[in-house]
């Protein structure tokens, strides 16, 4: 009997960390059947001579919760050979959600994930209320790649407590109700729950996103739901100051590990200019927790962001900026003109924050006003010197002069690329942190897999190819308990990427497109060198062609 698919003459890197080898890969009924020298016929034959054949990549940290409603191909991630994504991270999501509070849930995504409210209004289908219904709706809609979901804590708290979830801890009765909903979500297929402790994450009307108000007693109950089921993981945006772990944060991570008896992945380790040894010091401090399954996430790219004054997510952890969020442009412009606001901003920049006030790194990327085009590519510090003012005044004045249309760009963290290898080669870390689907107008690290292969394996030779592929396939699969994917072995699901080692890669900066619902703008990251992608044994991409049929699955914990 003929195989469904035969990939011939490729260099197989199977995701286990073993050395590459020349072999054929035979696929039948969506699974890998044989690897070696295969002589039997097949319905489809792909000649992979001079190409690498690897398991489909698995992205452990995305925010495609809304985008799956309008983009079944989950771009940009799928362009880069990603065949499985985990979404619902950082405690923000859109299920469960009662029909009368869709707007509040949408504003959480606006503030945390920087997706325009108008885009969400046009694109989110809201064909669910409960979390299990949300999973079923995703499967019913169809998807080109495999979708895994975390139960984001914020909508669960809001479902039980209403707007009070943004103001206080839950009482024992409410806690029990929320814990029961989380247990039901994981039983239905969620891969655990997620939360955040980061001040940057604000929700409706600038208030703390609901999961930030959860008490330690609440978390004990939610961890207990996972311990009772014996499955699931926890994802946590932990450190209030990037790459630094305070004692309180250490104790919180310890509590989650102890009470759940499940793995926890936490954010984030990113190199910073002002404290170059911060990541290594935090790794040393967290070592006892890492040994127990508390795995930090790192990225292989400089964290380069776009910044604008209409949706200023980067300043969300500065209380002086809270009145700016979710306001019409005229209100925002009045605030930006205010001398008191500017002075408060100056004072805030004297304290550690996500934005570090390095105006020499903040460059103008794009303007709407023709008279300002000569400034594109110049730094705010340079313009401030020319105008005889400081960075705060120059930054805000430029925004006002361009009617808030100006776009800035800046490398916030991992700016010194020579320090990145020590993070991505460290077996104590998990490579991920793409944030795919979030911060759509300012950030797109969805191409981290091809960047890892092109920049750090081929160009910089920071790690061998087989280790790099293991880091983005079997390692995240094992963490989340996805036992049927992440390796090219007989019996495994046939998620396969075939790429050209000599050309694979992606850029540091993407390109803007107006392809969101209603013509909304987003930053995308095109891929290079990805020749073929197969999902569950069926082709998705074939040398530039895209399959209109969708063969991805909604993955369910406990059944994969």
CB 201 within 8 A of CB 92: yes
pLDDT of residue 560: 75
What is the mean pLDDT of the segment spanning 292-320?
89
Is the confidence at residue 522, as pLDDT, over 80? yes
pLDDT of residue 313: 79
Cβ within 8 Å of residue 150, ≥6 positions away: 86, 87, 88, 89, 93, 190, 191, 192, 193, 194, 233, 235
* Fold: same for 3-55+514-546 and 57-302+414-463+471-482: no
pLDDT of residue 318: 87
Q: Which residues of 111-147 are buried (b: 16+ CB within 10 A; e: fewer)?
A: bbbbbbbebbeebbebebebbbebbbbbeeeebbbbb
Distance CA 116, CA 84 (A): 25
pLDDT of residue 399: 96
The CATH code belonging to domain 3-55+514-546 is 2.30.40.10
Cα separation values, 234 from 170, 296, 373, Å: 20, 12, 46
Mean pLDDT for the chain overall: 95
- The DSSP 8-state label assigned to residue 206 in this structure reads G
The per-residue DSSP string of 46-80 comes to EE-TTSEEEEPEEES-B--TTGGGT-TT-TTGGGG
Quick one: fold of 57-302+414-463+471-482?
TIM Barrel (3.20.20)
Sort strands 496-499 and 52-55 into parallel, antiparallel or unpaired.
Answer: antiparallel
Q: Answer positive or negative: Cα dihedral of 273, 275, 276, 281.
A: negative
pLDDT of residue 351: 80
| Percent residues over pLDDT 90 in the chain | 83
| Residue 173, Ramachandran bin (φ over 0: left; ψ between -120 and 50: alpha; else beta) | alpha
| Percent residues over pLDDT 70 in the chain | 99
pLDDT of residue 116: 85
pLDDT of residue 206: 77
CB atoms closer than 10 angstroms to residue 436: 30
**Span 157-183, pLDDT tens digits:** 999 999 999 999 999 999 999 999 999
**Span 38-49, pLDDT tens digits:** 999 999 999 999
Distance CA 52, CA 50 (A): 7
pLDDT of residue 199: 84
**Span 342-390, pLDDT tens digits:** 999 999 988 876 777 889 989 998 999 999 999 999 999 999 999 999 9
CB 469 within 8 A of CB 18: no
Is the confidence at residue 2, as pLDDT, over 70? yes
CB 109 within 8 A of CB 94: yes
Query: Of the given ranges (240-244, 314-318, 433-437), which has the lowest mean pLDDT?
Result: 314-318
Is the confidence at residue 1, as pLDDT, over 70? no
The number of C-alpha atoms within 13 Å of 461 and in the hemisphere containing its C-beta is 0
- Residue entry with tokens 């920071």: 462
Backbone angles phi, psi at 438, to 5 degrees: -110, 165
Q: Which residues of 5-36 are buried (b: 16+ CB within 10 A; e: fewer)?
A: bbbbebbbbbbebeebeebbbbbbebebbbbe
Distance CA 137, CA 139 (A): 5
Is the confidence at residue 505, as pLDDT, over 70? yes
pTM strictly above 0.75? yes
**Span 111-159, pLDDT tens digits:** 877 788 999 999 999 999 999 999 999 999 999 999 999 999 999 999 9
**Span 277-290, pLDDT tens digits:** 999 999 999 999 99
Distance CA 76, CA 437 (A): 8
Distance CA 43, CA 62 (A): 35
Element housing 422 (H / E): helix 421-424
Is the confidence at residue 511, as pLDDT, over 90? no
Q: What residue segments make up the domains of the chain, in order of their start?
A: 3-55+514-546, 57-302+414-463+471-482, 306-411
Q: pLDDT band for position 440 (50/70/90)?
A: confident
């Amino acid at each position: 009997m003929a195989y469904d698919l035969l990939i011939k003459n490729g260099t197989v890197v199977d995701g286990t960390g073993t050395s590459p080898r020349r072999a054929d890969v035979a696929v039948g009924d969506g699974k890998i059947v044989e690897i070696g020298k295969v002589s039997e016929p097949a319905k489809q034959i792909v000649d992979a001579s001079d190409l690498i054949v690897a398991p489909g990549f698995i992205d452990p940290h995305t925010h495609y919760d809304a985008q799956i409603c309008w983009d079944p191909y989950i771009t940009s991630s799928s362009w880069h050979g990603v065949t499985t994504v985990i979404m619902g991270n950082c405690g923000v999501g859109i299920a469960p959600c009662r029909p009368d509070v869709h707007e509040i849930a949408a504003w959480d995504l606006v503030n945390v994930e920087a997706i325009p409210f108008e885009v969400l209004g046009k694109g989110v289908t809201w064909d669910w209320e409960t979390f299990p219904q949300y999973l079923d709706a995703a499967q019913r809609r169809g998807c080109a790649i495999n979708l895994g979901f975390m139960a984001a804590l914020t909508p669960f708290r809001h479902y039980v407590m209403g707007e009070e979830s943004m103001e206080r801890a839950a009482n024992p009765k409410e806690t029990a109700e929320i814990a029961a909903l989380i247990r039901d979500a994981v039983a239905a297929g969620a891969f655990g729950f997620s939360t955040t402790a980061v001040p940057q994450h604000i929700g409706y009307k600038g208030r703390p996103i609901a999961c930030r108000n959860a008490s330690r007693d609440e978390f004990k109950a939610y961890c207990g739901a996972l311990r009772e089921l014996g499955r699931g993981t926890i994802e946590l945006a932990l450190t209030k100051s990037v790459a630094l772990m305070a004692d309180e944060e250490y104790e919180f991570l310890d509590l989650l590990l102890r009470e759940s008896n499940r793995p926890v992945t936490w954010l984030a380790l990113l190199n910073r200019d002002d404290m170059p040894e911060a990541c290594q010091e935090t790794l040393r401090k967290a070592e006892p927790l890492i040994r127990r399954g508390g795995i930090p996430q790192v990225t292989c790219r400089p964290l380069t962001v776009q910044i604008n004054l209409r949706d200023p997510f980067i300043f969300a952890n500065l209380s002086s900026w809270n009145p700016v969020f979710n306001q019409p442009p005229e209100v925002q412009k009045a605030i930006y003109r205010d001398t008191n606001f500017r002075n408060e901003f100056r004072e805030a920049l004297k304290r550690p924050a996500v934005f570090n006030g390095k105006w020499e790194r903040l460059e103008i990327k794009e303007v709407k006003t023709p008279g300002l085009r000569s400034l594109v590519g110049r730094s705010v510090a340079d313009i401030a010197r020319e105008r005889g003012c400081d960075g705060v005044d120059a930054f805000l004045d430029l925004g006002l002069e361009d009617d808030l249309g100006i776009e800035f760009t800046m490398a916030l963290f991992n700016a010194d690329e020579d320090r990145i290898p020590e993070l991505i080669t460290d077996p104590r870390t998990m490579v991920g942190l793409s944030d795919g689907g979030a911060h759509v107008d300012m950030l797109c690290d969805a191409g981290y897999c091809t960047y890892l292969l092109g920049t750090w394996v081929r160009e910089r030779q920071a790690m061998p190819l087989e280790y790099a592929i293991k880091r983005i396939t079997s390692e995240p699969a094992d963490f989340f308990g996805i036992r049927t994917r992440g390796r090219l072995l007989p019996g495994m699901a046939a998620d396969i990427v075939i790429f050209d080692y000599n050309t694979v890669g992606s850029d540091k900066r993407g390109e803007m497109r107006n392809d969101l619902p209603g013509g909304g703008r987003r930053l995308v990251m095109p891929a290079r060198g990805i020749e073929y992608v197969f999902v569950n044994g069926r082709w998705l991409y074939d040398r530039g062609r895209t399959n209109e049929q969708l063969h991805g699955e909604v993955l369910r914990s406990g059944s994969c």
